[in-house]
Structure 1
Amino acid sequence: MGSTAAPSIRQAIAGDTVTDWLASVKDPAERSHQLARLATEDLRALGPLLDHDGASDLFEAVDDELAARVLAAMAAGDAAALVEVLDLDHAADILREIKAGPRERLLSALPQDRAEALRGLLSWPEDSVAAHMVPEALTVRPDMTIGDAVQALRSDAATLRSDSRSGAYVYVTDADRRLLGVLAFRDLVLADPQEAVAALTDTDVLSVSPLTDAEDAAQALMDYNLVAVPVVDADNRLLGILTENTAGEITEEEATEDAERQGGSEPLEVPYLRASPWLLWRKRVGWLLLLFVAEAYTGTVLRHFEEEMEAVVALAFFIPLLIGTGGNTGTQITTTLVRAMATGQVRLRDVPAVLAKEMSTGMMIALTMALAALIRAWMLGVGPEITLTVTLTVAAIVLWSSFVASILPPVLKKCRIDPAVVSAPLIATVVDGTGLIIYFMIAHATLSQLQGL
């Protein structure tokens, strides 16, 4: 007996069976695919059909840009009812994708305290940790007994939303919410009820300021193997917490953006299949124009050495081989370094160690590639002088590319420039022109035909 195909979301909306559609279509990619194809009137009709659990389930499965499109198409009241059930940080991420006018209308339809909390998150720069924090956390006073603290947390449980996700830690604060320390929730509930909170408090707390880069804060949380890290202002007042799952999302998003930049393109804000040709053009053309201009100096170098190539035509045979080898060498290094820097393994102070390691590796690679170049030149029968020129040039270009690729990413990071912009195409472009200069300088020194040119 054949199985019945699951209904589409359009059919579910028409038949008021959205709950059944959510139950039958579990794959996030399929949900996103169907939802993205709905017309505005279908999206508007979807709002009243989603209950709280269904809204949370759906928006957890789709990306923020698509969720924002869904909310923007709905009546403000329906959209506000759905936002009300989302975690605060997730809701802020979605609202950040909506234009200011519709977003403000949606916020105005929310309860005042909820709207103020979201406006607070939206007021921070998008790349700051404060924009991604959960503004709610479990807190107790240091002068409480353990019993009083547990009772206070029980009382607060009615007002704390599920999106606090801070059950692992309880933060100790004073009357002005200044952070004094932290203790594990497990230690709190297992301790003697008559013992003082202060006796269990760990005052050595890792915290971050609200304007800390979100990626740096996420990396710190993972480096110290924490479940959450508190966000405090200049007066050490607790503003919120960055949770482990949010840190994972930030790290994954940054890794994706770095990978896209390494390919010589600006990151897409939407999944690839929903990116229009116009968007792809905008994300790619800037880099391509920059690389085109940078590559133009390669032609200038070739024109400058036109006489040398006319005198020894065989020099031209090896140009693609030489510049390709240099670009490939640099690309390998920058790809490894950018990732190591993203995970906190390499910092600016490590440049000497990186340089020593890569130059040592470069010497071994240079010898290997020089041997390969010698064999290739011998096979082409270009003569001993040109063979020597090509062999020396390959070694020199590999070492030069190793040097440039080793120092650029950390230096750019220090200058507050994303090291991922040192993409494979850019490194290859830089090495192309400089490699040609090295080639013809060595040729002048080794070829008798070029003496006097």
Structure 2
Amino acid sequence: MNIEKMQTTEHVAVSSRLGREHVADIVEFLNSKSPEEATDIVAHMPLQWAVEVLDQPHFDDACEVIEALPHERSVALLEGMSADRASDVLRWIEEPARSRLREALTPETRTAIDHLLTYPEGTAGALMTTEFVSVPSTWTVKQTLDHIREVERNRETVYAIYVLAPDTKRLVNTVSLRRLISGNPEDPILSVANPYVPITVPPNLPQEEVARTISKYDFLSVAVVDSTGHVLGIVTVDDVIDAMIQEQTEDVQRMGGMEAIDEPYLQISFKEMIKKRAGWLCVLFLSEMLTTSAMQHFSDELEKAIVLALFIPLVMSSGGNSGSQATSLIIRALALQQVRLRDWWRVALRELPTGLVLGSILGVIGIIRIVVWQEAGIFDYGEYWKLLAVTIGAALVGIVTFGSLAGSLLPFLLKRLGFDPASASAPFIATLVDVTGIVIYFSVAWLFLHGTIL
């Protein structure tokens, strides 16, 4: 009991000390603690501090903290949080706790959160917040500035003001804060509005497209508008950045040959880590068995010319490396819309000569290596070592070219079939090139060495 009192006293002191820190530093500190410790520290924070902390997307244990806190405290925190962040937290809380918390919210908050939860994850609707500054088009600059002073604490951002028709509430135009404060106080709000038609996005637009829109127009936020022209909410640049970081993290993990993890590395359980990694490893292992089968098919050639086995790792890794390079380039180009599905043939035409040149470069290096080793007496490759050198060089050209083509076209195929192109992981490409590379290697070897050592 004394230990519990000491811990509580310590957490009260920590909470008080954290009040002088930036909220981002507070979140970083809490992320270094266990969920139980983080909950106790948040429990002793003033309500407004705790709301600011839980409003941060980088706070890893937000769901656990909300579930563990007393019911009244959790409800108060959800009420104070931005609607989009509250909906994200509730989305991952298990039943029946989610329903209990939801029912305790005020009708206004509950409606806003329910509305956000209806949109699929990864869309503008799921990213948006309903807390934005809007004013009637009949107001003046002064009225708008007065209104911002009243509501700024409860709004996600005040850098963009959305001007609505007073009767229909449809979006008329937008006004940046910079233009607003430079306007004459008595002038109508529309006199300082943007001179172009408002740039908006629909609620079902993928988050990648939302990010592209914000980047293209250099916005701090963009309005999410329904088919009737009514503003459903706004997506801010910081929300987009957080979403894109998460999306890119998942893509990188998939490209590494594993399922995406939704927790920090040091916090994911051992069981979950095995579950995320074992599946893909088993698939890749079974795929590599095809390489063994291909080598068994050429076992007679290997028995006749065991020297060919010395270069299998060399030529296989070269093909896998070229394929991984091409895959990484195309996945990123597809994500940035630098290329589209219809451009697959242009990519193929570009990668074919690229693969030939890269393969030729490696082939020359391979030939030089054999010549140097033979002439220097480091290793004796036999009577037909010159033919062997040409064989290795030609095989490298073929395998690297195939790797480049396969690595560049597989993401297009996956995207066409409706899969995430990032699933074309580097290990998967390497496995594919290994299997076909064996066939190319021994076919070239038979072509050049038939009648000599084969």
Range class of TM-score, shorter chain: 0.7 to 0.9
TM-score, length-scaled by structure 2:
0.86
Q: Residue 28 of structure 1 contacts residue 62 of structure 1 at CA under 8 Å; is this kept in 2?
A: no
Query: Structure 1 residue 178 and structure 2 residue 170: aligned?
Result: yes
Query: Residues 37 and 324 from structure 1, CA distance in 2 versus in 1: closer, same or farther, beyond 3 angstroms?
Result: farther
Query: Structure 1 residue 17 and structure 2 residue 13: aligned?
Result: yes
SS in 2 for 1:34: coil
CA positional deviation for 1:398? 0.9
Bigger drift between 357-366 and 64-73 goes to 357-366
Q: Residue 443 of structure 1 contacts residue 450 of structure 1 at CA under 8 Å; is this kept in 2?
A: no
Query: Residues 417 and 443 from structure 1, CA distance in 2 versus in 1: closer, same or farther, beyond 3 angstroms?
Result: same
Question: How many pairs are equivalent?
Answer: 438
Identity %: 30
Name the counterpart of 2:418. 416
CA displacement, residues 131-176 of structure 1 (integer Å, 9 cap, x when unaligned): 110113333444x2x51x6526745764676343143242444633
TM alignment of 1:245-394, pairs within 5 A: 245-378=238-371, 379=373, 380-382=379-381, 383-394=385-396
Name the counterpart of 2:404. 402
Query: Residues 140 and 198 from structure 1, CA distance in 2 versus in 1: closer, same or farther, beyond 3 angstroms?
Result: farther
Q: Residue 181 of structure 1 contacts residue 201 of structure 1 at CA under 8 Å; is this kept in 2?
A: yes
Bigger drift between 69-78 and 359-368 goes to 359-368
TM alignment of 1:16-415, pairs within 5 A: 16-23=12-19, 26=25, 28-36=27-35, 38=37, 43=39, 48-60=43-55, 63=58, 65-142=60-137, 144=138, 147=140, 150-151=142-143, 154-155=146-147, 158=150, 162-173=154-165, 175-192=167-184, 193-195=186-188, 197=190, 200-378=193-371, 379=373, 380-382=379-381, 383-415=385-417
Bigger drift between 83-92 and 274-283 goes to 83-92
Q: Residue 128 of structure 2 contacts residue 224 of structure 2 at CA under 8 Å; is this kept in 1?
A: yes
Query: Residues 73 and 285 from structure 1, CA distance in 2 versus in 1: closer, same or farther, beyond 3 angstroms?
Result: same
SS in 2 for 1:239: strand
Stretches of structure 2 lacking an aligned partner (at least 5 in a row): 374-378
Q: Residue 208 of structure 1 contacts residue 231 of structure 1 at CA under 8 Å; is this kept in 2?
A: yes
SS in 1 for 2:61: helix
Q: Residue 228 of structure 1 contacts residue 244 of structure 1 at CA under 8 Å; is this kept in 2?
A: yes
CA positional deviation for 1:377? 3.1
Stretches of structure 1 lacking an aligned partner (at least 5 in a row): 1-7
> Aligned partners of 1:189 and 1:16: how far apart in 2?
42
> Aligned partners of 1:177 and 1:9: how far apart in 2?
55
CA positional deviation for 1:215? 2.6
Q: Residue 219 of structure 1 contacts residue 344 of structure 1 at CA under 8 Å; is this kept in 2?
A: no
Q: Residue 22 of structure 1 contacts residue 54 of structure 1 at CA under 8 Å; is this kept in 2?
A: no
SS in 2 for 1:212: coil
> Aligned partners of 1:154 and 1:195: how far apart in 2?
14
> Aligned partners of 1:31 and 1:367: how far apart in 2?
54
Letter matched to residue 84 of structure 1: E
Bigger drift between 109-118 and 218-227 goes to 218-227
CA displacement, residues 14-33 of structure 1 (integer Å, 9 cap, x when unaligned): 66435324247746433212
Q: Residue 302 of structure 2 contacts residue 309 of structure 2 at CA under 8 Å; is this kept in 1?
A: yes
Q: Residue 150 of structure 1 contacts residue 188 of structure 1 at CA under 8 Å; is this kept in 2?
A: no
Letter matched to residue 181 of structure 1: N
